[in-house]
Amino acid sequence: MRKYIISIITMTAVLAWGEAGVIPPQGWTPISGTQYNMSLYALVLDFGGGPVEAPGSTLAAFDSSGQCRGTARIEEGPVGKWYQMTVVSNAASETGLTLKVLDSRDGAIHDIKETFDFVSESTLPAENYTEEPWTLHFKPLTADLTITLVQNWNWVSFNVQQGERTLAEFLENYTQHATNGDIIKSQSGQATYSGGKWYPSPANFRLEPGRMYKLRKQAAGSCELTVSGAPADCAEPLAVVAGWNWLGYTGEAAATVSAIFKEGGFDNNDLLKPQAGAQATFSGGKWYGSLILRPGGGYMLKQATPGTVDFRNAKENAAR
């Protein structure tokens, strides 16, 4: 049995649209009657490094108890669009204030990675803020994936990203169970465990979301492997060839086979199968079979034509 745990620090805002534009959600009104304030000048970058500057986007500051201390909508600044905020307090100084931004492009609220301290009558940045406002970034989303491994071969996949970590760092949780000769391999490379280290071949071998890997655990008994990282994008296209492809499911929860999508559609007799159990075959425009796609599972797709696939339909095809 595979377990999947995900903690995402993003929520969807309830928006009201009209002549006034976007109305921030409840709780985004700064406290009133305060004695002190400071000024903050910032721009915000999203996960892809693009600016969050659509009309109505709003930046807000909060104290440790969750009380709002200031809000600012995106507006024109001296060197582009910026958020110019008055932050308020009843104390001359405070530490650990946090920020959130409402991105009006999709109505989502994102936590900001950076935090700041309140100092009465100060500005942030302290100098040259009209030309170089503070650059803020979305706080990375994190997810934990736990997979149960048995002795011998396991078909596995990862719906979280390895990021900048080495293979050993990403699989750190498995080290306590690993023995010399353990292998994790893809269709194009592998890594072998020996003497407390993973030896990849080729040297740039990585574990990518959307790909299936075969992991050979030599020690007797079962164990759990937990990895953490930024969640995979279910809509990220995965290149596939005619013939057999090793695929990993990128959804957050179990889904039926209809979660998989291919540009141009599948062909009759295309086949999707797990390591063991129910599989699915495509015929006449639909999938037949009771295959359930599960986070952490590995699958082999045999198809007649190359192209790209993804799992954009995962949520609407969640397994019941």
Domain range summary for the chain, segments of one domain joined by +: 8-137, 142-229, 238-317
Q: Give the separation between CA 293 and CA 301, rounded to whole angstroms.
A: 12
- With tokens 């669009």, the residue in question is 81
Strand partners, 103: 108
Which CATH topology does 8-137 take?
Immunoglobulin-like (2.60.40)
Buried b (16+ CB within 10 A) or exposed e, 129-168: beeebbebebbebebebbbebeeeebbbbbbbbbeebebb
Q: Where are the beta strands (DSSP E) in 48-122?
A: 58-62, 68-77, 80-89, 93-103, 108-111, 116-119
- So what CATH class is 142-229? alpha beta
One fold for 8-137 and 142-229? no
pLDDT of residue 320: 74
- With tokens 């030309």, the residue in question is 131
> How do the pLDDT tens digits run along the chain, 320 residues long?
334 333 333 333 334 333 345 677 889 999 999 999 999 999 999 988 999 999 999 999 999 999 999 999 999 999 899 999 999 999 999 999 999 999 999 899 999 999 999 999 999 999 999 999 999 999 887 889 999 999 999 999 999 999 889 999 999 999 999 999 999 999 999 999 999 999 999 999 999 999 999 999 999 999 999 999 989 989 999 999 999 999 999 999 999 999 999 999 999 999 999 999 999 999 999 999 999 999 999 999 999 999 999 999 999 999 97
pTM for the structure as a whole: 0.66
Measure the CA dihedral 146/151/154/160, to 10°.
20
pLDDT of residue 11: 36
pLDDT of residue 164: 87
Q: In what order do the strands lie in the sheet with 190-194?
A: 152-157, 212-217, 183-185, 190-194, 197-201
Q: Three-state SS for 317?
A: helix
Which run of H or of E encompasses 167? helix 167-170
